[in-house]
Amino acid sequence: MNILLLGRGKTGSLVAEVARQRGHDLRIAGATENTDRAALAADKLQNIDLVIDFTTPHCVVENIEACARAGKSMVVGTTGWYAQLDRIRALVEDHGTGFLYAANFSVGVNLFLDVARTAAAALEHEYSGQIFERHHVHKQDAPSGTALAIQSVIRESGGRNAATSSRKSKDEDIQIVSFREGDVVGMHEIILESAADRIYLCHDAKSRQGFAEGAVRAAEWLGAKKGFYDFKNVWQHL
């Protein structure tokens, strides 16, 4: 494929390396090249099959909008924009493009989400929960998209009902605590605690390699498909 990669950060640079290793033609546009969406002008996208975005929360939505208008499919690894998820879904569907996003493209993290989904049953047995997430000091969004995804999975899978209304609310039971320190790639911990015991679950990324490989495989899977996809629903099919 002919891929345009938006973002020259640490993860973006590794995505570029993996894409080339897997035989794709790649063009990279950093913040300078993409000022005022210059890299997403129609003439610049003419020979591009798909755009991968690893930029920042404050510019990703405008990148998505520009690609949708140009009829180009996207894989988005940038987080911090999910408050606009419904609007972006409608935009993608209106323009008939393909779109695949993820809070985290690591296969290990998506396995961890499945573990969290199972562990959420503890909330129905007098457990409360906390999520701790650690990332490097340059990460701009907090909580991380992955931490929010874990929180969402636990809430959905450990749903409360009227019979438990006297207990703490979900928001109180599943707090997220964020740390930004050094060059931490990404660590996410779940602690489920009752009066009797404590359960610890942890995913610790040793490098960004898993993120990069997952993003490129996601782009290959998306290809010419149309529609709106979440990586957590398709990663097992890559």
234 burial via Cβ count (<10 Å: 0-12, 13-18, 19+): middle
Tell me how far CA of residue 36 lies from CA of 6, 30, 39, 41, in angstroms. Answer: 13, 12, 8, 10
Omega within 30 of 0 (cis) for the link into 143 = yes
Encoding tokens for residue 35? 């000022």
C-alpha 56/C-alpha 15 separation (Å) is: 15
Q: Is 203 labeled as catalytic in the residue annotation?
A: no
DSSP 8-state assignment for residue 174: E
Catalytic residue among 10, 72, 125, 139: 139
Alpha carbon distance 4, 37 (integer Å): 13
Active site residue 135: yes
Candidate list 135, 188, 203, 232, residue with the active-site label: 135
CB 50 within 8 A of CB 1: yes
Which residue in this structure is represented by tokens 């039971």? 173
Residues annotated catalytic, as ranges: 135, 139
